[in-house]
A = this chain, B = another copy of it.
Amino acid sequence: MEFVECVPNISEGQRPSVIEAIAAAARAVPGARLLDVHSDRDHNRSVLTIAGPPDAVASAAFGVAEAAVRLIDMRLHRGVHPRMGALDVLPFVPLGGASMELCVDLAHRAGERIGCDLGIPVYFYGEAAIRPERRLLVEVRRGEYEKLLTRIGTDPSRAPDVGPSVVGPGGATAVGARRPLVAFNVHLRTDNVAIARAIARAIRASNGGLPGVQALGFTTSHPGLVQVSMNLFDLRATSVAAAVARVAEEAGARGVELAHSELVGLMPAEEALRAAAAALDLPSLARSQVLELALSDQLALPDQLPDQWK
């Protein structure tokens, strides 16, 4: 059976009743599994992780979109993370044997419904981008909700791919398809957010830093801690372990110590195994060397093949 993942990012990280009502819309769809809800008060943002068969995940994604647009008013939203809509970002991700083409198709169909049925301007990004300049989310979201309010009707480069060229209280949504990514925050023991920002600039791919890494520096609500917040888009090029090591190196050069890290949402098993191998000096650690993963991979194969076929 093919499985896909969908990771709606909603612009609410503070009001539990709103977050729960939106999460309930995902759970209400038979077959879809809501694996995680990660809320951040400072970002005022929550990341939902939904997985399951493609049609169930697509239905759950639309349910989340409808609830987010109904319950979140972007005119009132404040948070340190860039955002432009109640449902800010909606990426579809292939798991296991599923193809990227399938996820591009899911993104386009979800975008059509969000644009037409909910009246939300939609921009396709990542592998689902229709305009090449919209492949990067950072380009799509430039200026955020507040600037988009006026530019969407006047600047042709900001015309949506689907939906009205008018921004209401629900804002706009980026809908895309991508490979698995890891969102990961490293905390620094300092009150000086300029250090977090300088490290983010030093390590991000767009400045010639680590390939596949987006990074921003943020304050946190904990005194004495600032945050380097990373999205790791190309885990083969830059593993989470490599990114953490680089942040540690940059922090050390600035005389700052690392505090604990934070995983936002989930990570693919392969990435966890890569980190484990690094910790244990193993050349590698394969799924087939981890009991539960090996057994579930084997159980997915047909039983009772004649012996010589195995």
Contact = CB atoms under 8 A, between A and B. Distances in A.
B268 A28 contact: no
Contacts of A95: 291-292, 295
Interface in A291-305: 291-296, 298-299, 303-304
Q: Is the interface of A mostly helix, strand, loop or mixed?
A: mixed
Given A275-B280, A276-B279, A288 B36 contact: yes
A272 B273 CA distance: 7
A33 B292 contact: no
A28 B292 contact: no
A178 interface: no
Contact of A268 (B261, B262, B268, B292): B292
B290 A266 contact: yes
A273 B282 CA distance: 14
Contact of A35 (B28, B180, B291): B291
Contacts of A303: 30-31
Contact of A244 (B240, B281, B283): B281
B262 A35 contact: no
B35 A241 contact: no
How big is chain A's contact interface, by range? 35 or more
Interface string A5-32: 1000000000000000000100110110
Q: Most chain-B CB neighbours within 10 Å: which of A262, A272, A275, A281?
A: A272
Interface in A162-184: 180, 184
Contact of A289 (B36, B275, B282, B298): B36
Given A241-B279, A292-B293, A293-B292, A285 B272 contact: yes
Q: Most chain-B CB neighbours within 10 Å: which of A267, A280, A310?
A: A280
A273 B293 CA distance: 12
A260 interface: yes
Q: Most chain-B CB neighbours within 10 Å: which of A35, A36, A310?
A: A35
A281 B3 CA distance: 30
A148 interface: no
A43 B24 CA distance: 56
Nearest to A52: B295
A149 interface: no
Contact of A280 (B28, B261, B285): B261
A139 interface: no
A30 B304 contact: yes
Contact of A298 (B28, B33, B240, B307): B33
A32 to B, nearest CB: 9
Contact of A295 (B3, B180, B276, B290): B3
Q: Most chain-B CB neighbours within 10 Å: which of A261, A290, A304?
A: A290
11 contacts: A36-B288, A36-B289, A36-B294, A49-B294, A184-B280, A258-B281, A266-B290, A266-B291, A268-B291, A276-B276, A276-B279
Q: Which 7 A-B pairs have the closest CB atoms?
A: A275-B276, A279-B279, A275-B279, A33-B298, A261-B281, A276-B276, A269-B292
